[in-house]
């Protein structure tokens, strides 16, 4: 399952947090599959774009009715995810999180201190949805998303190979889960990363990436050539050869036997007459 590889609960200091098969994680994956493409793209941006903020900056958003919503943990491509009692609650909270994040993602250079704090120097600052207002945040004693909410929550990490190199990493993962070619996908992600961030790579990193990409491309070419050769090596399908015997020539019908010549009735009568004449003469 590509989504299972993409979204993994992270181990928290002191234990606790989410586990891979618990309902909140299952619901999250189901909702992401059901989302339209634009919403999935917003979700990826929500988790991955916040690292552009200063290190250790934490943003917490709470709805008016007091329900915590998922928030992004800066610089680590992690999602602070509370536990929810139902899929419907999480399904309602995700759009709120995406809508609330647009302000920060669009104008992160002008963040107000009321919305973003640097908890490294303070007692905890904004703690993410699981931590409430106090003991959360990277510098607080409870760790990010450490308690509160519906049974606490935890951090969900996004795979950097998918998301860090490709803004549409979630889309790519969904394509893989639907039967896409994983090797080809990884080649495309590597190539896109090199094209988009080539100027920022160190020389060694660039050479490693280029070498890896070249190796993967050569492997793909070899596989394609081997498949083509195997098809060429196969004998063409044999046509069914049937022995056709030409029909024997029809025999001409045998000629009918000629009828025997009939005896002449005139000569017989004459002969008979002669015989009887000779007999009469002898008797005289």
**Most confident among 69-83, 125-139, 161-175 (mean pLDDT):** 69-83
* Tens-digit pLDDT profile for residues 8-66: 777 766 667 788 888 888 888 888 888 887 777 777 777 765 545 555 555 555 444 44
Q: Is residue 42 situated within a structural domain?
A: yes
* Tens-digit pLDDT profile for residues 55-75: 555 555 544 444 566 666 555
Lowest mean pLDDT among 76-85, 126-135, 253-262: 126-135
Number of folded domains in the chain? Answer: 2
Whether residues 62 and 152 share a domain: the answer is yes
Which residues lie below 8 Å from residue 17, measured CB to CB, with a gap of 6+? 9, 10, 11, 145, 152, 153, 154, 155
Catalytic residue among 31, 75, 111, 194: 75
pLDDT reading at 92 higher than 60: yes
The secondary structure of 197-230 as a DSSP string is HGGGS-HHHHHHHHHHHHHHHHHHHHHHHHHHHH
Whether residues 64 and 200 share a domain: the answer is no
* Tens-digit pLDDT profile for residues 130-164: 322 222 222 222 233 333 334 466 556 555 544 44
User: In the 8-state DSSP scheme, what is residue 125?
Assistant: -
Per the listing, tokens 């060429």 go with 232
Whether residues 91 and 196 share a domain: the answer is no
Q: Is residue 267 situated within a structural domain?
A: no
- Could you confirm whether 75 is annotated as catalytic? yes
How much of the chain exceeds pLDDT 90, in percent? 0
Q: Is residue 147 situated within a structural domain?
A: yes
C-alpha 63/C-alpha 67 separation (Å) is 6
Whether residues 207 and 104 share a domain: the answer is no
Whether residues 112 and 216 share a domain: the answer is no
Q: Is residue 253 situated within a structural domain?
A: no
Q: Is residue 229 situated within a structural domain?
A: no
Q: Is residue 17 situated within a structural domain?
A: yes
Whether residues 213 and 155 share a domain: the answer is no
Which residues partner with 62 through β-bridges? 68
| Parent domain of 215 | 181-223
Q: Which residue has the higher pLDDT, 27 or 270?
A: 27
Q: Is residue 260 situated within a structural domain?
A: no
């Amino acid at each position: 399952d590509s989504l299972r590889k993409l979204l993994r609960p992270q181990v928290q200091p002191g234990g606790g947090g989410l586990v891979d098969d618990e309902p909140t994680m299952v619901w999250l994956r189901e909702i992401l599959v059901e989302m339209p493409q634009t919403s999935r793209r917003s979700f990826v941006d929500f988790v991955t774009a916040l690292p552009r903020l200063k290190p250790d900056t934490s943003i917490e958003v709470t709805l008016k009715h007091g329900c915590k919503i998922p928030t992004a943990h800066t610089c680590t491509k992690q999602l602070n995810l509370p536990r929810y009692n139902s899929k419907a609650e999480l399904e309602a909270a995700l759009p709120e999180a995406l809508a609330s994040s647009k302000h920060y993602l669009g104008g992160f250079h002008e963040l107000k201190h009321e919305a973003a704090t640097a908890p490294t120097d303070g007692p905890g600052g904004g703690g993410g949805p699981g931590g409430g207002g106090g003991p959360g945040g990277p510098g607080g004693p409870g760790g990010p998303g450490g308690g509160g909410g519906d049974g606490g929550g935890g951090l969900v990490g996004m795979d950097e190979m998918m998301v860090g190199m490709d803004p549409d990493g979630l889309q790519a993962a969904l394509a893989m889960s639907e039967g896409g070619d994983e090797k080809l996908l990884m080649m495309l992600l590597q190539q896109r990363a090199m094209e988009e961030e080539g100027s920022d790579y160190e020389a060694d990193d660039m050479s490693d990436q280029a070498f890896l990409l070249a190796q993967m491309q050569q492997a793909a070419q070899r596989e394609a050539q081997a498949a083509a050769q195997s098809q060429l090596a196969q004998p063409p399908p044999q046509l069914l050869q049937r022995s056709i015997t030409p029909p024997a020539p029809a025999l001409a019908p045998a000629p009918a036997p000629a009828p025997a010549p009939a005896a002449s009735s005139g000569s017989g009568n004459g002969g008979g007459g002669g015989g009887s004449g000779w007999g009469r003469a002898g008797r005289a």
